[in-house]
């Protein structure tokens, strides 16, 4: 059979089969134009129509609270006193951290403690000639004395004088009495030259962790953070300043600290531990405060058992959380979790269903490129549709076809802003030449078989 005859048979066969409606059927979006019975509306995706489409209400499904819970917090360890109460609710990730402010301290004068250095100044004694020349008229003998372990300072010709726990005024009165008893001129002045007995430690997200002394002037929270070089936390969403005092953890969100001046003026006391934490979980703070607790274990052995019990409880809770998370992931793999899906059909990389993510919305571009995008060889980029049904159950057959014309590549930017909703269908039509090639591919074997049979006859 000649090539011209074969080509004529192909054309005639194609026309005949097409007329019968059996040559090739492919899906397409066919809106009914005009009339009140129109069920399909085709709307071009434009910046304005994207705003209209995104107005529909939708709340993405959330991961279960076990994915936001931590192993910190728990019951009171036996035999070790009250443990720090949980700072935050671990059921779900909160919108903002809770503010827990320590109680106000009473205004008391500074009391001398072990390790402080006291400076005792007495008049300098000189010769009559020197006094007349005025060379020593304003000179004083200044001597420093360290408060020793027993709370006393040792002064030559006077002996040991107990000063620990006294204010400067009380210490001066005690020294005056001892000088008089030893027949020494009681003309002197007393001051603290080195403050070593009362300290506050500052650590975490600060420029330089340090230990700040408490002096005659009260030490406030802002001054303590400045002494450590300031806060270095960048993300303020879950950054907080935690204060460990007398077995209790207090918490001040960093945003609240910056906006409320009264929080910056929280007075600190001896033994406070300040920790700037940048994490939602308490792991870093727990390690820091555990270190502070271990320092006290030299004086209280019962803390060892308390820490072991707390660690065991944390490990048990962490294991339970990991098991719950693994079980959920297994259910997710077995498709036994209620999910929202979008379906991809037509000329896409792979016809499939796209699960909408947890906790956020997905765009048309997210779904398209999760399936390798639109194959430009077969797909008609001018006819990319998002088919969305009416939320009204009385209008089950009514739907809107949002059309994206990808011939202008800049329109794909709109695809990144078009939000998807559950049960949307993304459909990409085929190119006209693709449809023709598929028709030819289907009828060619039949024509060849027919021609071969005629040749044999």
Q: What is the CATH number of the domain that holds 392?
A: 3.10.560.10
Domain-embedded: residue 371: yes
Examine the domain organization and report whether 430 and 411 are in the same domain.
yes
Domain that holds residue 186: 117-194
- Does residue 449 form part of some domain? no
Domain boundary among 194, 215, 249: 194
What gap in Å lies between CA 410 and CA 430, rounded to an integer?
Answer: 21
**Same domain membership, residue 320 and residue 217:** yes
**Domain assignment of residue 278, yes or no:** yes
Same domain, yes or no: 123 and 54:
no
Q: Where are the beta strands (DSSP E) in 133-226?
A: 140-146, 152-155, 159-162, 189-194, 199-204, 210-213
227 and 289 together in one domain: yes
Burial (0-12, 13-18, 19+ Cβ within 10 Å), 444:
middle
The answer to whether residue 355 is domain-embedded is yes
Write out pLDDT tens, residues 336-372: 888 999 999 988 888 899 999 998 999 999 999 887 8
Q: In this predicted structure, what is the pLDDT of residue 14?
A: 52
Of 260, 291, 326, which closes a domain? 326
Give the per-residue pLDDT at 225. Answer: 92
pLDDT of residue 268: 94
Classify each residue of 217-252 as buried b or exposed e, where b means 16 or more C-beta atoms within 10 Å of its C-beta.
eebebeebbebbeebebeeeebbbbbbbbeeebbbb
Mark whether 405 and 372 lie in a shared domain: yes
Within-domain flag for 55? yes
Residues 167 and 72 in one domain: no
pLDDT of residue 236: 75
168 and 216 belong to one structural domain: no
Q: Is residue 377 part of a domain?
A: yes
Q: Is 449 exposed, middle or buried (0-12, 13-18, 19+ CB in 10 A)?
A: exposed
Q: CATH no. for residue 137? A: 3.30.1950.10
Provide Rg for the chain, Cα atoms: 41
In a domain, 15, yes or no: no
Give the end of a domain, one of 137, 160, 194. Answer: 194
How high is the mean pLDDT in each 10-residue block of the chain (457 residues)? Answer: 49 51 68 57 91 90 82 55 45 63 91 92 59 42 85 89 93 91 87 92 91 92 92 80 90 88 91 84 60 61 68 85 89 88 90 91 91 83 90 70 91 93 92 76 67 64
pLDDT at residue 424 in the model: 93
Q: In terms of domains, do 101 and 210 share one?
A: yes
Residues 74/313, Cβ–Cβ less than 8 Å: yes
Question: Is residue 441 included in any domain, yes or no?
Answer: no
Q: 317 with 356, same domain?
A: no
Domain check: are 101 and 247 in the same one?
Answer: yes
Q: Is the pTM of this model over 0.85?
A: no
pLDDT value for 315: 86
Question: Are 247 and 307 found together in one domain?
Answer: yes
Nearest to 350 by CA among 327, 379, 329: 379
Please tell me the total count of domains within the chain. Answer: 3
* Residue 306 shares a structural domain with residue 366: no
Question: Which residue, 86, 54, 48, 45, is CA-closest to 69?
Answer: 86
């Amino acid at each position: 059979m000649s090539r011209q005859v074969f080509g004529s048979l192909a054309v005639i066969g194609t026309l005949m089969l097409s007329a019968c409606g059996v040559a090739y059927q492919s899906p397409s979006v066919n809106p009914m134009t005009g009339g009140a019975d129109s069920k399909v509306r085709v709307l071009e995706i434009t910046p304005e129509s994207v705003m209209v489409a995104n107005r529909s209400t939708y709340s993405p499904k959330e991961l279960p609270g076990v994915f936001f819970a931590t192993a910190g917090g728990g019951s009171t360890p036996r035999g070790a006193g009250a443990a720090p109460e949980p700072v935050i609710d671990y059921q779900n990730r909160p919108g903002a951290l809770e503010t827990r402010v320590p109680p106000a301290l009473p205004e008391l004068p500074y009391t001398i403690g072990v390790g402080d250095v006291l400076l005792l100044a007495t008049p300098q004694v000189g010769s009559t000639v020197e006094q007349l020349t005025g060379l020593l008229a304003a000179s004083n003998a200044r001597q420093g004395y360290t408060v020793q372990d027993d709370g006393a300072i040792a002064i030559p010709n006077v002996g040991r004088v107990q000063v620990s726990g006294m204010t400067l005024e009380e210490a001066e009165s005690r020294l005056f009495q001892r000088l008089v008893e030893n027949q020494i001129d009681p003309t002197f002045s007393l001051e603290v030259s080195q403050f070593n007995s009362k300290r506050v430690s500052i650590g975490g997200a600060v420029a330089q962790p340090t230990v700040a002394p408490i002096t005659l002037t009260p030490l406030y929270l802002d001054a303590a953070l400045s002494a450590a070089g300031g806060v270095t936390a960048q993300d303020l969403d879950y950054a907080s300043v935690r204060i460990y005092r007398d077995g209790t953890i207090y918490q001040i969100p960093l945003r609240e600290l910056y906006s409320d001046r009264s929080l910056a003026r929280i007075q600190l006391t001896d033994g406070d531990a300040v920790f700037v934490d940048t994490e939602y979980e308490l792991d870093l703070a727990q390690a820091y405060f555990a270190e502070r607790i271990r320092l006290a274990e030299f004086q209280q052995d019962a803390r060892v058992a308390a820490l072991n019990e707390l660690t065991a409880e944390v490990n048990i809770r962490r294991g339970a959380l990991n098991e719950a998370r693994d079980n959920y992931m297994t259910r997710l793999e077995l498709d036994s979790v209620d999910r929202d899906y979008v379906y991809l059909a037509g000329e896409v990389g792979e016809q499939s269903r796209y699960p909408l993510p947890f906790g956020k919305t997905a765009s048309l571009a997210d779904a398209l490129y999760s399936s390798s995008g639109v194959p430009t060889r077969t797909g008609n980029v001018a006819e990319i549709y998002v088919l969305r049904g009416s939320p009204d159950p009385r209008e089950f057959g009514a739907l809107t076809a949002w059309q994206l014309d990808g011939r202008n590549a800049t329109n794909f930017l709109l695809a990144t802003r078009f939000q998807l909703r559950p049960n949307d269908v993304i459909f990409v039509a085929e190119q006209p030449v693709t449809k023709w090639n598929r028709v030819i591919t289907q009828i060619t074997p039949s024509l060849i078989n027919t021609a071969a049979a005629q040749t044999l006859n």
